[in-house]
Structure 1
Amino acid sequence: MVTQSSIKEWNQLELGAGGIQDFGLKLLHKSLVENGVSVIASQLDIVMKNRIQYLRYNELMPSPVLCIKIGKDIKIVGYFDFEESEDELDIDYEVQTAPYFTTKPSPLAVDLSQSATLTCAAVAADSDVKYKWAIGSRSFPSKVTGINTKRLVIPDVRSSDDNTYTCTISNEFGTLTSNPAQLTVTGLPEVTVDPPNQSVEVTQTVTFTTTVNGVGKENFSYQWRHNGVDIDDMTGSNLTILSAAENSSGLYSCTVCNQYGDWTTSNDSKLDVKPCFVTHPMDVTVNTNESVTLKCDAKGASKYEWRREGGVIRDDVEGKDTNTLVINKILSSDAGEYYCVASINGHNPIESSKALVVVNNTGSSKPDVVYIYDDTSANENSDQQYYCVIQ
């Protein structure tokens, strides 16, 4: 039997991220000699299965050398004396190494107010392993337990616990830190459906509704805003404007908050408030040279503009930018369809219905002289001719 006391040379094994625990190695001496180069002990029950341990017979070093292979590197652990008459080579020994992870912390998602547990585990041969957890770039709150153990427990998680966590293991031979594991806190207030954009007429009722989700949503509080300013007493999940006014137009949003102070805000929703016609211009039939008055009226309108379908309105017509259009001494050429455009300071314009203006040339009215011109082709000795165009 060869024991650790028979080792002639012992080289400290520095494995960094890996190592092995106590294990027993048993190889037939006859097989070792016949193979000469190496005998792989693949049947061994080693903690790290991805490591290959074997005995190597070195002609320059008569005694077998116990080695460990890490990737392409072979590290000499030690070499031993034995008598060739022995049928078996039994070696029991232990290797002291830096710790390595057998379990690394994994990403975790936990609902708000629940408990979160992160776990890691490590081993190192013949040495105690120390643990130390860390959170992002800040310190742990007092509620957290297990900071220096394998298991980190975060009770009653809050949004502030949503962070990355690492575990560092160490002993006298080395230190190793895990990759960051993300703890995601779920169940925070979330707006799942934003209130839609809307367009209404003055005095109409409009309702904005937002749909939310999250832990304890039945106890959420709400605050509606208009153009970024809190609306007094609008603290429910719905916002209702009973009679939209000119100044109701703008952007609306809702901020949702849970009992722990976590909050979120919906996307902005736009409300357009348009004027509402209460009086439309009426059809009218007149004779030439008479006066015509067209009138319209719209709630909430601050600006009016008269238009003529397919044509322009004469420059001398009165009230083109008011709610009353007056055409004095109307001409046959003024006949057509007229309508009014009402808006709120030029925004959200709406059109009235069209009014048909019919101009007759009959009756007692005199013909309308449009223009007079002379025939300039006549010379000074001939009679001058004048032409008059009437309607």
Structure 2
Amino acid sequence: MTVEREAGEDDVDVFMFSFQQQQQVEVSSTDNFQVNVRKSSPNQHPTWTELTCHSNCQLPVDPSYIWYKNGQQMEGKTKKINPHPVNPEDQYSCALSGYESFPSPSVYPPKLPSVSVSPSGEIVEGSSVTLTCSSDANPAAKYTWYKKNVNPDLQPLSKEPQLVFSSIQSSDSGEYYCTAENQLGKRTSEYIFIDVKYPPKTSSVSVSPSGEIVEGSSVTLTCSSDANPTAKYTWYKKNVNPDLQPLSKEPQLVFSSIQSSDSGEYYCIAENQLGKRTSEYIFIDVKYAPKLPSVSVSPSGEIVEGSSVTLICSSDANPAANYTWYKENQTLSQEPGGGYHFTSISSEERGIYYCKSENQYGQFNSSSLFIDVQYAPKLPSVSVSPSGEIVEGSSVNLNCSSDANPAANYTWYKENEDSPKASGQIFTITDVRPEHSGNYYCEAQNRRGRHNSTLYLTVVAGKLCSLMFTHT
């Protein structure tokens, strides 16, 4: 006996077998039997199915048929039957009465479809992947492919036994299933999970909390990347040798109490066995109150009266500090640059100075800076002690003093005498005599200059009278 499949009309698949006719029916070996299957159209009753026992043989008048369900003979001798319902396990065949040994091939709905993936093993993005659906069915099943959680009312992914991805992408990951359907029924496969592996996509970095970062606060940097398998992360700081120990090998880089020295640009590397990706830089700008200000004077070295002098105050601060200069608690100025300028410094500006640096996060005072202005002696003042009438034979002190920096040295002279009479602020004359009368002057001198002052002494009627005159 030979069995073959023919295409029938009206959505009918035909299965035939041929046999040697015996007794009353004249047939040749090419004659055959088959079961025709016809299902209702969609606008008719959805469960209506018609099976017809058909033969191309020359049959007797009013032939009688035998129907089998799952190998068991059914009641009735008609050419057509309408089984209801058709269960997935049911199989139907027919035969001509008297020729029960030559039944038609069985027809049956699809068995549970099986799904497979090729190639087997790990699926890497960009590779070619084929999903195959197969099911035992007669008539042969038609196949449809779907992806789980995608509306099946939409266009199916494929209406072929195979679903082909010529270059599979990460977005294709998910669960797939197929349906196998013929005129007797429809079965849905189990899900097959497609896990597409791929290297990290673009890595992104974020900082928490967002907004301004203040020294001493807790700050967390987070690195994230779409990758399969999950990426491992490594953190680095820009311009720090990456061959050294990384800052962190976790998705997060945590500063429990961030410091000003932590300011800078950071980046992370996301990596799995398929590749790695480096993030863009994220800049961390740590705000902080001024550190201890440093103070200096320009030009350095000795400060001479009349010269140009600048006091400089600087402090590490973020944002930049505002500066205020003080002289012994007297406010001088508030200048953004931290400088205080003397165009022509005077001796009166000698003293102790300090500055204050300040921003919205705090303030700090510098240490004291002593400004020592050097200048030539001012006009000396001279005096006689004791004052008033001086009795001949007594002692008298001539005093000379001058404002000078550094301190002045004093020398006493008598007019018309080349040699100095004395050195020091006080010139003492003991046992005063008339010949001591005359014009005396003192000279105050330091390395910045000198200045003179004159004193006149006169003896009258046995008494020494003093008159003081000064000139420069």
Fold conserved between structures, TM > 0.5: no
Normalised-by-shorter TM-score class: 0.3 to 0.5
Q: Which has the higher contact order (CA 8 A, sep 6+)?
A: 1
* TM-score for both structures, normalised by structure 2: 0.31
User: For the pair shown, which has the larger CA radius of gyration, 1 or 2?
Assistant: 2
* TM-score for both structures, normalised by structure 1: 0.36
